[in-house]
Each structure stands twice: as structure tokens, then as C-alpha cells.
Amino acid sequence: MTGTDDLLRRSAAAMARDLAEGATSSEELTRAHLARIADVDGDINAFLHVNEDDALATARDVDARRAAGEELPALAGVPVAVKDVVVTRGMPTTAGSRILEGWVPPYDATLVERLRAAGLPILGKTNMDEFAMGSSTETSAYGPTRNPWDTDRIPGGSGGGSAAAVAAFEAPLAIGTDTGGSIRQPGAVTGTVGVKPTYGSVSRYGLIAMASSLDQAGPVTRTVEDSALLHELIAGHDPRDSTSLTDPVPAFGEHARRRDVKGVRIGVIEELEGEGFAPEVRARFTESLALLEAQGAEIVRVSCPNFRYALGAYYLIMPSEASSNLAKFDGMRFGLRVVPEDHPTAESVMKATRGQGFGAEVKRRILLGTYALSAGYYDAYYGSAQKVRTLVQRDFAAAFEKVDVLASPTAPTVAFRLGEKTEDPMAMYLNDVATIPANLAGVPGISLPSGLAEEGMPAGIQFLAPAFADARLYEVGGALEALLEESWGGPLLSRITELKGASR
Ligand code: GLN
């Protein structure tokens, strides 16, 4: 890395302070990140589109406003990357799919409007599994993203691009979306922090829907405080999303800085820590809990018996909703249109476009969902899955009568190698065994690094809180992060000094 290292490696909160004090300008900061992207993204492939001119224009505008003495929002001038499932006016948006290649949305998602209004330069759009279906970013039609810790390994998914960009110091902040774990699992395997807010906390207007009852956008960052600040900025009521919460947004940043866990009751989910979780991932989890216990937290074991059916229920509900949401990609309205020779009809164009435009995983899920929703099978599959969803919600309700937050490892293993699970959908789906219950119940979750586990790769710990209690995640997460960094002698990501891997 180069002399701009110090500039790039600071937390977003520290960058914001530098900007406020005039130690740097947004233009300098944005240029440094664009240079870093030019330098390393050939190896990482975190970005599908780099938004250079527009990002620099925003940066200069913020610098001018600051110079004129204008009062600016906390993160004004700090650059951000946005997952390519979020629509951006004037910037290509593909959701990682061929079917949307060349589509430039005429409007911004609400969360993008908020980023722009707060003066955050948007560096570009990040790579992802096609339509957010996957756990490795390998189903992207534009090639996989690589893990900055080891470029032969996956960065998690579906939001691998956002997580890798943040871990590789290409962006200090990023936006992800989490339908079954796509913010938290990439966070875990790249050593970054990711938060899935309470369902409805962040507007879904302008998110290309995968499964509408599960989707939620949230922050991807290097520190807990940065996630809190970004969450604060993008949250809040939006009349254009009928499921958007009307409650005022708490000052999450203050909660992240509180660092007091005395008397906090943390429940270890028995169903999510034993079999199937790698030994060192479990060891880092247990050590993290011991640190919190030493600070006065109370660790108790709780059982959520129905969580073992959550993955199965998810893989019926999610494809059902996705099969319906994806019906709009018909070759008529957006992106790709394939016109067969010989008297094309609307139907044959649709068939050819969807046949060529969608990848194998997307087709698999459309088939699964269409089947689960079909007349003869609706009760047996979709109906049963919805009942399981209710049971999972009841498990959470019962657990939260006994504890303030729940905890588990975020993902069962560290990052695996590219190609290792592409032929085995079940093995791929199992990555989200610990993250999916939160989406089924709409509750918030945070993942933060717990240390290095198998083969020197990062592992994550997840905390879950009751709906609307996202602030608790920032309190417990902020406290644990401080304790761990003290024991490591600095942030885990500071160990990335250069990119490693055969592909480098
Ligand atoms: N990996 C999960 C899936 O493939 C979750 C994806 C997501 O959260 N978008 O469905």
C-alpha cells in the first residue's frame, strides 16, 4: 500500500472528524479511495461500476459548503459504496444479473436519496450474487468477488462486493441488503461489521426485491460505531414503503460508544453453536462471550427449538416471493431483450430473454417458488413454511423474555475457496443457518469480527435483539469490539497489509 494508507484505514467516524477539523477534504478522501479502487479492484472485483465524476462532484460540493460555514450531517464528505441491488439514478444497476445489463434507473432508492442529501460521495455499485441469491458472490453474472484476506477465497454473499470493498480499504462505508444473511455472513468472513436492522427500519423503496417480507438494507463498515452512524442516516419513515416504521430513529452512534454491558443478559442459542460449526469459529465465539462476562454481562443458555426448521422454511418462503417478484423481468421493460428469429411473439421474446438473462441459481429458485405456490402444493409447502415462520417468531419471543440479546457464531465456517461449493446448493444454503431466523422474525442482528479462526481467516459473532431494539446491538457490539481490539492490540483488519492469494 501507499502513503495514503493512513487516510484509507481510518474508521468513517475518524474520517468525519478529520473533515470537520479541516485535516483533510472530501475531495482528497474521495480521490484516495478512487485510486485504491483503481489499484486493487482488478484483483478483488468488488465494484461493478465506479462512479468517479459524480462522487468527485459531491465531494467538491461538500467541501465548498463546509468552507462556507454550513452545518453538515455527521458523515458528510465520507465516501460510500452501494450494493448493486439498490437503484441509483443515472448509474447502471444490474443486481448482478445479465437481464438488467445496461439498465440505468430513472430514480434513486430512498436510502440513496438520503446518502446524497447528507453529502456522502457514492463511489460506485458493488458486486453481488445474482438478485442476491447466494452466499459467495459466485452467482454474479459479472464474475466473483474475491476475499481481501485471501483472493482464492469467497467474500461471502450475496453482498460480497460491499464487504470486500470495506475490508480492502476501497470504501470506508457500504450499503448491503440482508434477506437471509447477506450483510452479516459476508461481514463474518471478511472481518467487517454488518447490521441487518429491524424489518421496516430502512426503507425498501428502490431495492430490487428478492423476498419482500424478508429483505432489509443496512450498513457494512469496519467498526460498530460506523454502522450505527450509517444506520442512523438511512433509517426513518418513508411514505413510499408501506412497511416502513414510523418510530423516531434512536441516536445509534451514542449507543455504540456507551460500552457498558453490566447486567446485560446474553442468551447463547443452543441450536446454533454445536454440530456443524467449525471448532475455531466456536472457540472465538466462546472467548468473546467470556470477555463480556468479565465485564459484568450475564451469559445464559437458551433453547430455540424451532430454529432447526428455519432454513427449510426460508427456502420455501424466499423462492415463493422471489418467483413472483422476478416475474416483472419480461424483456419488455428493463435491460436485456432477446428477440428470437422467425415471427417473434411477446411470449417467445419473454422466454428467450428470461432463458438467457437469468443464471442457474435464479432459475432454480423461480422453479422452486412456482412449485411451492402451485394450487395442489400451496398448503403442503408454502402454507407449512409460514407456520414454521410463526413458530420461529414464538421462539424469539420466549427467549427475549429471559434475555436482552441472543448470540451465536454468524456463519458456521470461515471463508471457503472459490468453486468449493458451487456444485452443491445445499452446502451453499447451510452458510445461512444462523442468520436466517432473524429475517423470518423481522428482528435486528449485528455481526462483528470475533478473531481469526481456521487457516488464519476471520470469523464473526452475531447478536440478535427484539424488534425495535437495534440500539442494544450497538451497545453490546461496541463493548465487545473495544474489548477484542484491546486484546488484539488494534483492529483485526489492520492485519491486511497486502492482498494474498494465487490469483494476486
Ligand atoms: N444466502 C442466502 C440466500 O442465498 C441469503 C441471501 C440474502 O440475504 N440476500 O438466499
Tens of pLDDT, residues 280-301: 999 999 999 999 999 999 999 9
Q: Can you give the pLDDT at residue 1? A: 44
Pairing verdict, β 298-302 and 405-409: unpaired
218 strand-pairing partners: 176
Under 8 Å between Cβ of 141 and 96: yes
At residue 199, the pLDDT reads: 98
Q: Whose CA is nearest to atom 10 of ligand 1?
A: 133
Q: Which three cell numbers stand for residue 408?
A: 451465536
- Which pLDDT score, from 0 to 100, does residue 296 have? 98
The cell numbers describing 457, all together, are: 481467516
SS3 assignment, position 44:
helix
Angle at the Cα of 474 (from 472 to 479), degrees rounded to 5? 100
Residue to mutate, 85, 136, 158, 323, ligand 1, most ligand atoms under 8 Å from C-beta: 158
Rounded to 5°, angle at Cα 395 from 412 and 135:
30
pLDDT score at 5: 73
Task: State how far the Cα of 224 lies from the Cα of 40, in Å rounded to an integer.
Answer: 25
**Minimal-distance CA residue to ligand 1 atom 5:** 180
Q: What is the DSSP string of 360-403?
A: HHHHHHHHHHHHHHSTTTTIIIIIHHHHHHHHHHHHHHHHHHH-
* DSSP category for residue 198: P
In the prediction, which pLDDT does 504 show?
A: 64
Distance 132 CA to ligand 1 centre (A): 6
Q: Where are the beta strands (DSSP E) in 170-245?
A: 173-177, 193-196, 217-221
**Domains contained in the chain, CATH given:** 3-306+391-495 (3.90.1300.10)
> Strands, E, within 288-365: which ranges?
298-302
C-alpha 346/C-alpha 332 separation (Å) is: 9
pLDDT in tens, 307-335: 999 999 999 999 999 999 999 999 998 88
d(CA 428, ligand 1 centre) in Å: 10
According to DSSP, the β-strands at 193-196 and 298-302 are unpaired
The helix (H) or strand (E) run that includes residue 293 is helix 279-294
The answer to whether the beta carbons of residues 181 and 159 sit under 8 Å apart is: no
pLDDT at 329: 95
Longest dimension (CA), the chain: 74
Alpha carbons 354 and 366: distance in angstroms, whole number: 11
Scored b (16 or more CB within 10 A) or e, 211-234 reads bebbbbbbbbbbbbbbbbbbbbbb
Residues 302 and 63: their CA atoms lie apart, in Å, by 51
CA–CA separation, 57 vs 324, rounded Å? 39
Please tell me the distance from the alpha carbon of residue 347 to that of residue 181, in angstroms, as a whole number: 35
Question: Helix, strand or coil for residue 204?
Answer: coil
Give rounded-to-5 percent helix, strand, coil for the chain: 45, 15, 40
Distance in angstroms between the alpha carbons of the first and the last residue of the chain: 14
pLDDT in tens, the chain (504 residues): 445 678 899 999 999 999 999 999 999 999 999 999 999 999 999 999 999 999 999 999 999 999 999 999 999 999 999 999 999 999 999 999 999 999 999 999 999 999 999 999 999 999 999 999 999 999 999 999 999 999 999 999 999 999 999 999 999 999 999 999 999 999 999 999 999 999 999 999 999 999 999 999 999 999 999 999 999 999 999 999 999 999 999 999 999 999 999 999 999 999 998 888 999 999 999 999 999 999 999 999 999 999 999 999 999 999 999 999 999 999 998 889 999 998 999 999 999 999 999 999 999 999 999 999 998 998 999 999 999 999 999 999 999 999 999 999 999 999 999 999 999 988 899 999 999 999 999 999 999 999 999 999 999 999 999 999 999 999 999 999 999 999 999 999 999 988 888 766
Report the C-alpha gap between 115 and 160 in whole angstroms: 21
The residues, any chain, with a CB within 8 Å of residue 327's CB and separated by 6 or more, are none
Peptide bond preceding 158: is omega within 30 degrees of 0, i.e. cis? yes
How far apart are the CA of 435 and the centre of ligand 1, in A? 9
Q: Where in the sequence numbering do the catalytic residues fall?
A: 83, 158, 182
Residue 392 and residue 459 in contact, taking contact as beta carbons nearer than 8 Å? no
* Ligand 1 neighbours by CB, cut-off 6 Å: 132-135, 157-158, 178-182, 210, 318, 432
pTM exceeds 0.95, yes or no: yes
Distance 314 CA to ligand 1 centre (A): 10
Handedness of CA 229, 234, 237, 243 (dihedral sign): negative
- For residue 228, give the nearest of 206, 204, 205, 259 by alpha carbon: 259
Contact (Cβ atoms closer than 8 angstroms) between residue 278 and residue 417: no
Residues in the chain: 504
Quote the CA–CA distance of 465 and 484 in Å, as a whole number. Answer: 21
